[in-house]
Structure 1
Amino acid sequence: MVNSWNANTLSDQPQAILKKYFTPQLAAALRADSKCAADNHDICALEYSPIWGVPDAGVGALGLKLDVGAKPGSVLVHYKVASTGRLVELRYQLVKLPVGWRIADIIYPGGVSLRSDLGIAE
């Protein structure tokens, strides 16, 4: 599979790339947060890597494991942060759109969600 990303971070991706992985609403919110951060030269809504749920996406993940979640469209992601050994569990909530499955939300430890951090109402 060829990596179609053309920037260093998830949030820096063009809208067309983000829509390959996220729902249109979540893709738009990620781009808006990236634009806010670039315009203000500061952190806006997200202080962490959305995919990994940790501040530094480059820390590395060990023992990555995927499991089917309890709810339809739910995928549990388990990994260990390489630099600290901390175990992390994330719940990816997927929805099926006419173009295929897309990430609609990511629930982080403690119950915080990507949608809520980006200010998207449930």
Structure 2
Amino acid sequence: MGSTGSGSFSDYPGSRPKEGGEGAGSGGASGEDRCARAFSCVLEEVEQCDYFAASGGVPPANTALTIEHSGRLFAVDASGQTVGALPTSLNYLADCMAEGFTYEGRVNSSASAPVASVSVDFAPRTP
């Protein structure tokens, strides 16, 4: 009835342990490169972003988006306007982007009411 982990965040998949430090093993990693996986997400804070402020709405389906890291991960359109923030569960992508990965996506669905929402499918571009 106990934990076999090291008590460090390195026990969780996607974390980066200190070199040579305790818990510097596989940390529960599955061996799969999360950076190279396509994913879908629903953007957050859409109504507080540039696109919504400028247009009063959300981008239509099939709008091309990329991801930028500006203190937080944001989906941006071709003109550089933020459309929405990525969920914090995808924060590991910041490390992937630092390694040279880029992500391109398309709006899958969007709605302005009752609450603005944008669903996006992203695919990686390897370095």
Fold shared, TM-score > 0.5 on shorter chain: no
Indicate the structure whose relative CO is greater, using CA pairs within 8 Å and at least 6 residues apart: 2
Say which one has the larger Rg.
2
Question: With structure 2 as the length reference, what TM-score do the two structures score?
Answer: 0.24
Question: With structure 1 as the length reference, what TM-score do the two structures score?
Answer: 0.25
